[in-house]
Structure 1
Amino acid sequence: MRLSLAYLGALCMIPSVFADADFSQVRLNQDVDMSRRAGLPAEKYFFESTFSMHYDGRFAAHALNYTEQTKALRDLVRSYLMTFQSLGIETWLMHGTLLGWWWNKQILPWDSDLDVQVTESSMFYLAAYYNMTYHRYRRIGGGRHYLLEVNPNYVVRDQSDMYNLIDARWIDTVSGLFIDITAVRYNLTHPQGEGMLGSKDGHEYRVCCILS
C-alpha cells in the first residue's frame, strides 16, 4: 500500500536545496542550544530539547501553541514527502502518523511528532549524497526551512544501540519540530525465515506487508 503522497494536498512549494549546511547557516532564530544532554551518553547522536521530546533544542527555545504546531507539522510532512518524491526515494508513513492518515487523513490531534520509514539502501543513499542538506521552501505568505540530517550510526543494523534508534531526521529549522526517519532492514536470520524486515526500534514486518 502506498500512502506517501496522501499528505501533499494542494500546497504549492518551490524547493531550493543547499548542500553541506552548517549550523551557522540554518539556526535562524536560536542562539542557545536547548538540547537535553544531562545524564545521556555522548554517543547518542540526536538530542531532544529540554522542554519537549518532540522538538530539536538546537532550533527552538519553546514549544508552539496547538494551532501553530499543527500548521508546522502539516508543512513538515508535506515538504518531506515532496522532497523525497523529487529525489526518487520511496518512503511511507508509520506508527501514529499512519494511524492518523488511516482514520481521518490528518495528523492525530495529540501527536506532536511524525514517523516515516525508508529502505536500508535508501538510507545509505541519503547518507552518501544528501546528509546535512538544507531545503528552503518558498510559499505565498512565507516559507519554511528544513534540514535533512543522517545519524552516522545508521550503519548499525541491530538493536544493540538503544540511544541511536533513529537513523535520520527531517528538521524544521524554524520551529524545531522534526520527522523521525528509520530504515527497515532485511533480517536474514529471522526464526520465521525469509521475507522478514526489521527496524532498530524493535518493529518487525513481512516484506509483503510493506513493499508489495
Structure 2
Amino acid sequence: MEFAYLKSVQARLDAIRTLTRDNRIPPSRRFNYSIKDIAPGGFVRLDGDVCHVMAGGRYDEWDEKYRKKLGYTSHEYRLRNLRTGQIILLEWDEEDQVVSASVSTKKLKWAELADEAGEAIDEDDLEEMDSGDGIKYNGKDFWYDDDWAAKYVPAGKRNGEKAWIYEFEAKDGEMLTIEEWGGGEKADDYEIWHCLSVDPDTIEVLAASGAKEAS
C-alpha cells in the first residue's frame, strides 16, 4: 500500500474516534441545526457520506486597498470524506436572508484552462478579464462574474491573510473560483477550484463541536 493511502486511512480512523455520544447530535434534534452551525471538529453528512470538518474559516470582503471591511462574508470548511478520504471544500454565504452553498472537490491547474478561443491562459490574464470574458474548462465556458478583495480568517483567529477572489460561472450553474495569495507574483500563488452548488438544507449536521469563528 502507498504511504499516502495509509496516512489517509489513519487520519479517517483518528477522526471517527472523536465522534462520541457526548458530541453526537441525536437524530431527533438534528433538524434544529443547519449549515450555519458547522465548526472545525464537527461532522456532517454530505451526499450520503459522513465527513469530518477538519478546518474552517471565513472570507471577509474588503475594499480594494484593504483599508475598510465591507459587509459580505463567505464561510469555508475543509472536509474529509470518511468513506473515500476525499478532501472537499464546503462554502456557504447568506445574502438577503437566503443561504447558498457550494462544494469544491477538484483543484485545477492552469494547463487545464483556456480562453474562449482555446488558447492557453495563465495568471497574467486575470487582471484583464471583465464582464463578457470567459474561461474554458473541460469543454465548457465559464463567464466572468466578479472579483473582490478578501481577508481569510481561520476559525478561532482574529487576524486574516489577504487574498483576491475571481469568480466565473457557467450557464448550468457550475463555477470556477480562482484565489490569488501572496500578491500573485508566481503561479504557485493561485488556487483554482471547480465548484458545484448544493442545497444547504440537504447537509445534515451530525456533530457541531469545534472552534467558533472570531467576530
Q: How would you bin the TM-score normalised by the shorter chain? A: under 0.3
Structure-2-length-normalised TM-score: 0.28
Name the structure with the higher strand share: 2
Structure-1-length-normalised TM-score: 0.28
Structure number with larger C-alpha Rg:
2
